[in-house]
Amino acid sequence: MARHLITSALPYINGIKHLGNMVGSMLPADVYSRYLRRRGHEVLYICATDEHGTPAELAAKEAGLPVADFCAAAHDQQKAVYDGFELSFDFFGRSSSPQNREITQDIARALHENGFIEERAVRQVYSVTDERFLPDRYIVGTCPHCGYDKARGDQCENCTRVLDPTDLIDARSAISGSADLEVRETKHLFLLQAKLTDEVEEWIAANGEQWPVLASSIARKWLTEGLQDRAITRDLEWGVPVPADVWPELAAEGKVFYVWFDAPIEYIGATKEWADAAPAGELRDWKSWWYEAEDVRYTEFMAKDNVPFHTVMFPATIIGSRQPWKKVDYVKAFNWLTYYGGKFSTSQRRGIFTDVALDLLPADYWRYFLMANAPESDDSSFSWELFSSVVNKDLADTLGNFVNRVLSFSRKRFGDDVPAGSVAGEAEQRLGEQIAELLAEYEGHLDALNFRKSAQSLRALWSAGNSYLEEKAPWTQVKTDPEGAALTLRTAMNLIYLYSVVSEPFIPATSRAMRQAFALDAAAPAAGLAWVGAEQAKALDFVPAGVGFTVPPVLFAKITEEDLAGYRERFGGDPDAAV
């Protein structure tokens, strides 16, 4: 049985992320990790904050903090939100860690030794006032295309045109505001990707066929356009320093590696952080997950804008190192989640952000909705109308109402223990076979990382319980056949337990509440979270008669028209949007 290494794209450090970031990488990675663990696989789910680069320094400057202090605080803030969403990272590290610095520098040395890093002279903007070279994003001015007066030297955020710093009108330093700028010569390191083109093409040809079309097509597009040598250093105060033993002159000038060189290496670095953070007496072999790791299946989760870096640039880095680091086996890429058809924006605070989402409603509402509407084959749009419809129909009516009415009615008629009732009959046999079939379908979709289809299968499992309850109608049955009604309710309670296990990857908090409704012995197998297989599901006998139970609070409260009106007023939206 393969060990499963799972990573999700590193969230950038400059602010709390929006729902699009959540559904595009971290949440599906968590759902898949939870599923694999329940199936008995050994899983390591790694993520980290991406802390280097110009935006981090600019955000720290705006906050009036040293960049190291800003990043430390922002890391803790992001981690608190991810804990609120119950993301089950095995470790959530930091790209500014000593471990990442060490491994990044070692890989750079190997690339240099193998002839894949070259020092080149380039012409770059220099601020006389600041006495430093300025990376593109440290230069601001007026966009020559749209007139936006806060355009950056790499791209205008307003019209999205790609720019060169020399294109800007009235260019000035983002640090001091000074317009005393000159173009001077300096030196930077370049990764010679062009020399690695054939090897990267060969690797993608051998591995990319199994990836989703979105990931493989983006990778092949980059290859078709031709790999270009890429600068991998910047003039910044915050980053992984160029190692002085190889490039003493550049190290003395304070050059650091470009964020997109060291950030993917942080997957390895964070795994070493995980090992180094082990409790006393526990030995964690981080290297076996990455180095000569033939028994590891590595799956990456990311939005489509990150695909080129993970399918071309990072593999080129690893290939060029000539070291046996693990390369990705499967790239699960996502399209955009939009807000009423418009783009979520961290910098402009447009859309629903993850911290605010948790203030509004518990995490399971968001987890289920996002995965049921994951932007897999195309972009998907968030609207309050769709959100309320999914919550009310799927979570409140189909699952929550089923749990509440089964347990409430059974307690009212039969007391606080699971009733025994008569022997299972034809209806229960049909139900067991149906549940087994639906469960196998659900498992197949999760194995294939088809999350929308997985959510549909999960919803079908919940619906099967409601159909069974309507067919048997225990509220009528109890008047003439109390033993039959008791059987119906016991069967339905076993469905609740089954739901508590198989729903856990999507809605972990609700799954706990369903499972904890039953006073099962903690040492009993049924009290754990071992996956329920299709053959087990046919019997529907996880919770025996006589076990005590309680009725949990309402699992999902419905979103009212009044709630909707308040959300629209606060966040915007189209009140006439179709559901």
Top CATH class of 117-191 equals: mainly beta
Binding positions are: 143, 146, 156, 159, 346
195-201 — which CB contacts under 8 Å span 24+ positions? 195/115, 195/116, 196/116, 196/227, 196/316, 196/319, 196/320, 197/223, 197/226, 197/227, 199/316, 199/319, 200/227, 200/312, 200/315, 200/316, 200/319
Question: What is the model's pLDDT at position 368?
Answer: 98
Per-residue pLDDT at 579: 43
pLDDT above 70 (res 574): no
Quick check: 190 pLDDT over 50? Answer: yes
Indicate the pLDDT class of residue 528, thresholds 50, 70 and 90.
Answer: low
Per the CB < 8 A criterion, the answer to whether 150 and 139 are in contact is: no
- Show binding-site residues for Zn(2+): 143, 146, 156, 159
Specify binding-site residues for ATP.
346
CATH fold, domain 3-112+260-380, is Rossmann fold (3.40.50)
Q: Which residues pair with 47 in a beta bridge?
A: 92
Name which of 349, 353, 352, 348 is nearest 383 in CA terms.
Answer: 352
Q: Where do we find the tokens 């007026």?
A: 142
> What is the C-alpha to C-alpha distance for residues 454 and 520, in angstroms, rounded to an integer?
29
- Rounded to 5°, the CA angle 357-552-525 comes to 100
Which residue type does 390 have?
A: V
Average pLDDT, whole number, for the chain?
A: 93
Q: Are strands 117-127 and 181-191 parallel, antiparallel or unpaired?
A: antiparallel
Cα–Cα distance for residue pair 23/489, rounded to 1 Å? 37
pLDDT digits (tens, 9 = 90+) for 63-81: 999 999 999 999 999 999 9
Helix ranges restricted to H, 391-425 = 401-414
Residue 304's SS3 state is: helix
- The encoded tokens of residue 133 equal 């070279």
Q: What does the alpha-carbon distance between residue 12 and residue 77 come to, in Å, rounded to a whole number?
A: 12
Whether 93 shows a pLDDT value over 80: the answer reads yes
The answer to whether the beta carbons of residues 181 and 173 sit under 8 Å apart is yes
- CATH 3.40.50.620 boundaries in the chain: 3-112+260-380
Within its chain, how far is the Cα of 119 from the centroid?
36
Give the best-scoring range by mean pLDDT among 143-152, 201-210, 267-276: 267-276
Select the highest-mean-pLDDT range: 21-35, 208-222, 514-528: 21-35
Where is 430: in which H helix or E strand? helix 426-447
Q: Is the backbone of residue 15 left (phi > 0), alpha (psi -120 to 50) or beta? A: left
pLDDT digits (tens, 9 = 90+) for 500-524: 999 999 999 999 999 999 998 654 5
Cα separation, 243 vs 429, whole angstroms: 68
Q: What is the pLDDT of residue 524?
A: 52
Q: Where do you find CATH 1.10.730.10 in the chain? A: 388-539
Question: Residue by residue, what is the 3-state secondary structure of 86-117?
Answer: CCCCCEEEECCCHHHHHHHHHHHHHHHHCCCE
Sheet containing strand 139-142, edge to edge, reads 151-152, 139-142, 169-173
pLDDT for residue 577 is more than 80:
no
* Digit-coded pLDDT (tens) for 120-137: 999 989 999 988 888 888
Residue 349 has a pLDDT of: 61
Provide CATH 2.170.220.10 ranges for the chain: 117-191
pLDDT number for residue 348 = 61
Q: What is the pLDDT of residues 531-541, one digit of tens each?
A: 988 888 898 99
Classify domain 388-539 by CATH architecture. Answer: Orthogonal Bundle (1.10)
Distance CA 394, CA 460 (A): 10
Percent of the chain's residues with pLDDT above 90: 82
pLDDT for residue 161 is more than 90: no
**Which H or E run contains 314?**
helix 314-321
